[in-house]
Amino acid sequence: MATYIIRRTLQSIPILFGVALVSFAIIQLAPGSPIDRFRTPNVRPETLENLIRLYGLDQPVHIQFVNWITAFVQFWNVEAWGYSLVDGRSVRDTLVDRMPATLLLGGTALLVTIIFAVPIGILAAVRQYSWADKAITTFATIGYAIPSFLLGLYIAYLGTVVFRGLFPGFGMVSLPGTEGRGTPLDVAWHMVLPVTSLAIQQIAGWSRYVRAKMLEVLNQDYVRTAKAKGLSAAKVTYKHALRNALIPVITLFGLTLPGLLSGAVITETIFSWPGLGLLGVTAVTQRDYPVVLAFVMVGGFGVVMGNLLADILYGVVDPRIKY
Amino acid sequence: MTARHVGPLLEIKGIKTHFFTQDGVVKAVDDVTFEIGHGQTLGVVGESGCGKSITSLSVMRLIERPGKIVAGEIRLNGENLLDKTDADMRDIRGDQVSMIFQEPMTSLNPVFTCGDQIAEAVQQHTAVSRREAMDRAVEMLRVVGIPDPKRRAAEHPHQLSGGMRQRVMIAMALSTDPDLLIADEPTTALDVTIQAQILEVMRDLREKNRMAIMLITHDLGVVAEMADEVVVMYAGKVVERADVRTVFGSPHHPYTQGLLLSIPRLDERRERLEVIKGTVPSPLNLPEGCLFKRRCPHRMRVCDTAPPYQEVGSGHFSRCWLTPAGEAPDVGADAEGEEAQHAAEQLTVGAR
Ligand SMILES: Nc1ncnc2c1ncn2[C@@H]1O[C@H](COP(=O)(O)OP(=O)(O)O)[C@@H](O)[C@H]1O
Ligand code: SF4
Ligand SMILES: [Mg+2]
């Protein structure tokens, strides 16, 4: 097991290198250049030349890549990821600052998702074609089909306008000067709408998946064997079927993890949630290249870690997997 | 337990199990009647799709929607299982009646150890501790001939071969000392040498436990080796029933004769095996009269009317118009309509 984890982790390195290469290429191919923001009518050409040399943009592309990647792996170094073109702060510190807000939001949404989606999916499968199943299917289809920006806006509208400000529609804490600002309760109160908005979409997908897997498993021969033993319906469903149905759900877990690291870009933007997602969007609109690249890399890192964790979890819960 | 019931262990009387599908009603089991005596082995044979599995699942009351047992009685030790509550039925399943299935590769739960799965059956039906149940599981694995049973009990099903898994299934089924074992094609998925070993285990345990077996198979060789009595099914109906010697020595129904001709034999050299011509009729498009008529070499006019289920010899029943001697019936091979119907009723009454 330990050797497997180590081997699997080492295998992630070339994948991460690929992610870095693609991220770098995309930035290179995108129109515009990092010094465009300094290009105003009264800037002298020599100043621009100096900037180009300062940032190493006069070097050939592959040298630029090597420079960037060697700097980037030194995540322990405050300077390594460069400085924001907008506020001049260390990019690494900015990302580290934003990380907790994103983890809090995404982690809570994931927890809420699991708490709701698993029982809902089981119910829909066990009572296939009942009114409950049909209601769940309808909800899931709508939740899945609605674009997240629309759902987010609608939930923001519901919480702030329809319910007259029952829940705050932006930020993570109350405005300065408000009593109890920044207490856990204050933060939780601010989380209600964004968590709801994220969770609804995820519950839609997850509950469908759990339902499908549960139906598949309920038709397996070993479920018939369990019934033939004289076990109760509850034991058949929750002991024999559920254990098997939840194994493939790990895949979804792995797919959800990157979102926990890089943030839910759209939801964070709508609710002005000060996480990585919002940071990324802002950086893109401001052409803050160092921040954008770091943001993309953190996202890519999340995907690779999600896959790695899913693979390891499979090994833990599925006795058929051998290393 | 209640006092020993006199009469057969299992009596199935006129059961009909129908599937109400979108395309129509599939009469998977249609008026099936037979008995199994204590300690007896009944072979149930017939081509794929003739209703063997649905008959056995009906006995277990494990028919799922859109299927339903719409008529008949299933008496175990004289008590009708169709009158039992779900809870009573659960106490019977896996205790008095156990079942093993065709697919040893998929019939065990992949996430639990073999020992756990056997112990679970034991604990479900007897008041024993977990440890005692586990000891029983290991003991059963030894009984069914699994080497190093203690180690195997701790293994997961994927670590065992198909033959070993079927042994585990048998161990599980027999761990509660059932009166009746239903074995639905227990050796079909296994290769020949393993098949012989599994049959050997079953024969051995049948003697030891004085247990009755309902052995479902489409392999007449297996029947010849194991069964006391035989029921031949075709398109949801029993078409012939007799003791094993009669079925092999003097089969009456043309379908049974066809099945026997299709067995490869070592003592005869045939250019090729005779196979029954044609295919099993679609359950949604069954012919009028005799269900076998489209494939039958003896077909007569009268076969357009449902044939009688008549006694053609002592304890030998056949659902066919041919006389016990295998000739065209007295009613006249050309009889039709009411005349034929009346004749069929007369002959059937004698049989029941
Ligand atoms: N769930 C179902 N829905 C509709 N028809 C079914 C269903 N299950 C079985 N049947 C039908 O019942 C008939 C008997 O099946 P089965 O008992 O499995 O045959 P076999 O003799 O091969 O074991 C088949 O014609 C099959 O099409
Ligand atoms: S009833 Fe007629 S068609 Fe049917 S098996 Fe007998 S002879 Fe053949
Ligand atoms: Mg079958």
End-to-end CA distance of chain B: 31
Helix axes B130-143, B114-125, angle to 10 degrees: 120
Residue A220 forms contact with B (CB below 8 Å): yes
Report the C-alpha gap between A226 and A221 in whole angstroms.
9
Residue type at B26 in one-letter notation: V
Inside any domain, residue B28: no
| Domain architecture of chain A: domains with CATH | 2-72 (no CATH), 96-317 (1.10.3720.10)
Inside any domain, residue B344: yes
- C-alpha distances (whole Å) from B18 to each of A221, B217, B290 are 21, 21, 19
Interchain proximity A224–B95, CB inside 8 Å? no
Residue of A nearest to B94 (CA): A229
Contacts B106 to A, Cβ<8 Å? 220-222
Report the C-alpha gap between A220 and B136 in whole angstroms.
27
3-state helix, strand, coil in chain B (%, to 5): 35, 20, 40
How many domains is chain B built from?
1
In which residue are the tokens 């379908």 written? B255
What is the pLDDT of chain B when averaged over all its residues?
A: 91
Inside any domain, residue B294: yes
A153: nearest Cα among A315, A284, A269? A269
What is the arithmetic mean of pLDDT over A1-28?
88
Kindly state the tokens that stand for A89. Answer: 């702060």
Which value does ipTM take for this structure? 0.90
Residue type at A286 in one-letter notation: Q
CB proximity under 8 Å: B 158-187 to A: 158, 169, 172
Inside any domain, residue B78: no
Q: Where does residue A184 rank: exposed (0-12), middle (13-18), buried (19+ CB within 10 A)?
A: exposed
pLDDT at B271 (0 to 100): 55
Return the percentage of chain B with pLDDT > 70, whole number: 94
pLDDT at B270 (0 to 100): 55
User: Is residue B255 over pLDDT 60?
Assistant: yes
Report the C-alpha gap between B59 and A198 in whole angstroms.
50
Provide the pairing of β-strand B41-45 with B212-216. parallel
pLDDT at B46 (0 to 100): 93
Please report the sign of the dihedral spanned by the C-alpha atoms of residue A130, residue A135, residue A139, residue A145.
positive
| pTM for the full predicted model | 0.85
pLDDT at B263 (0 to 100): 75
Residue A196 forms contact with B (CB below 8 Å): no
pLDDT at B340 (0 to 100): 86
Contacts A224 to B, Cβ<8 Å? 62, 101, 107
- E-only strand ranges, chain A: none
The most distant pair of C-alpha atoms in chain A lies apart, rounded to whole Å, by 87
Inside any domain, residue B351: yes
pLDDT at B240 (0 to 100): 97
Report H helices in A177-235: 184-218, 221-228, 233-234
Q: What are the beta bridge partners of residue B309?
A: B319
- Is residue A302 within 8 A of residue A257, CB to CB? The reply is yes
Inside any domain, residue B349: yes
Inside any domain, residue B296: yes
Q: Which domain holds residue B331?
A: 287-352
pLDDT at A131 (0 to 100): 95
Inside any domain, residue B345: yes
User: Is residue B273 over pLDDT 80?
Assistant: no
What is the arithmetic mean of pLDDT over B210-237?
94
What is the arithmetic mean of pLDDT over B118-141?
96
Kindly state the tokens that stand for A212. Answer: 């499908």
pLDDT at B194 (0 to 100): 87
Determine the distance separating the centroid of ligand 3 and the alpha carbon of B192, expressed in angstroms. 19
